[in-house]
Structure 1
């Protein structure tokens, strides 16, 4: 099977899902429209479920041969996640990334999709429903901000900076025990660190050159495949904490993204201390 991919049609699908199922529910969720999954801050809303169903139905026509791996589909059938490693072609979707923000009425959430071909991410899309634009990357073709009128602006990471001048994003929620204490203390060495509670916007911010690094300990494919490719195609260095490549089958090992390999190594040495 050869891969024929029209990324623009996937982009249109994400936008249509947002307009049909996500935005009409923003700040309008009822009492029964929000539920907890693994913990009180791990939420799912009716918008997540409806948007994923919408996207799955549309992609079944666009890419009928692809395995569909959605966050909510995996929540219903965890065995689905294990099929990703062996799938020749798969589409991985996060229907509402930043669900906690969405459910709280905070306008920082996104819709993410990635295309995996023979074990490698070949396309990644992050749609911002509030800004009505996409950050899109195809392997070997660069990273771009694309608007509905067709305008495209090439994205690029920030220039490297010394540790004390770095601004970054770090999700501390999934660091635990001694490692959590170590990482949180060592982050005091950088100029500023933030957490949007939304990987979609954190990856977009990095690829647009506004921060020098992002760091995660929990790896689920719908959270990171699109963003990792976006970061790489924008010129960044992406690797797990042991400096091994990040691949779609990985669900552990942490992820550190920085402007270049030298900065990555410095952050690993000074912040992770491994």
Structure 2
């Protein structure tokens, strides 16, 4: 079976569970760290996703945010999953969250799916095959300067204690971009770049599950996706810039 089809099946199933939890309310919320929450639906959705993926690809390794990991024998192939991108939004009733599932082969992400269950929007991509929103092709915006750009970012979970809290780059961006947004859902921010809602996105302090699927979708939609140095180590370094080529060059120059 095609891995993309299985990823879509898992994303839709987890999305339905999230919709159900959102409508019901009253779910348990815990504190993972000073600025990071986890809900019972993070764990339930991850378990559901892992179950679906392992039924078809039992040998594939799994990296999941909540620690429900499959110990597959093919370590060079792994699923990277965030069962609830935007946990704080979900917990506080802010209607922007989703499911993120990526497949990585030998260090290269080759499948990405991000599903927003409230909007019923499913972003998907395969390496070299383009990106789509609900099966319709998408492309990045043609914006070529920060002065005309809507840009998104966020803040790391250790912002209370780390000097590298992203406020310096926000100060740069608010003086140069048309406007800057903070929506609290990295995968969906990358997908917003992919379909032209945002012109660019940057952030650091991220984990692979935050950005793996969204980064591929943005790339396949025409964005340059790199680390702050303009290199391809964004998953390893936990930092990302995603933007059309001309705009990307301007941002990298500012961050250098």
Q: Residue 62 of structure 1 aligns with which residue?
A: 56
Distance in 2 separating the partners of 1:203 and 1:180: 18
- Distance, in Å, in 2 between the alignment partners of 1:92 and 1:168 is 26
- Structure 2 equivalent of residue 71 of structure 1: 65
- Equivalent residue for 1:49? 43
Q: Which is worse superposed, 46-55 or 171-180?
A: 171-180
What is the match of residue 241 of structure 2?
A: 256
2:33 alignment partner, SS class: coil
Shift of 1:234: 0.2
- SS at 1:177 equivalent: coil
- 1:8 maps to which residue? 5
Confirm or deny that 1:183 pairs with 2:176.
Answer: no
* 2:252 equivalent in structure 1: 268
* Structure 1 residue 210 displacement after superposition: 1.7
Match of 1:25 among 8, 21, 24: 21
Shift of 1:203: 1.5
Aligned match of 1:205: 192
Report the alpha carbon displacement of residue 118 of structure 1 after superposing the two structures with TM.
1.3
Asked whether the equivalents of residues 155 and 165 of structure 2 are also in contact (C-alpha less than 8 Å), the reply is no
- Deviations along 1:172-218, one digit per CA (max 9) or x if unpaired, are 34665377443122112111000110113211211101221100111
What is the TM-score normalised by the length of structure 2? 0.90
TM-score (norm 1): 0.84
- Name the CA distance, whole Å, in 2 between partners of 1:91 and 1:181: 32
The separation in 1 between residues aligned to 2:183 and 2:167, in whole angstroms, is 20
Give me the whole-angstrom Cα distance separating, in 2, the residues matched to 1:178 and 1:124. Answer: 29
Deviation per residue, 1:52-76 (Å, 9 max, x gap): 11111111111111101110017xx
Q: 1:164 aligns with which of 127, 142, 147?
A: 147
CA RMSD in angstroms comes to 2.2
Corresponding residue to 1:119 among 107, 117, 129 = 107
Count of residue correspondences: 251
Call closer, same or farther: CA 1:30–1:179 in 2, change over 3 Å.
Answer: closer
Over 3 Å counting, the alpha-carbon distance change for 1:180 and 1:13 in structure 2 is: closer
More strand by share: 2
Instruction: Find the aligned partners of 2:42 and 2:196 in 1 and give their Cα distance.
Output: 29
Over 3 Å counting, the alpha-carbon distance change for 1:64 and 1:179 in structure 2 is closer
> Could you tell me how far apart the structure 2 residues matched to 1:63 and 1:97 are?
23
1:27: Cα distance to partner?
5.0
In structure 1, list runs of 5 or more residues that go unmatched. Answer: 147-151
Q: Distance in 2 between matches of 1:136 and 1:259?
A: 19
Partners of 1:143 and 1:211 in 2: how far apart? 16
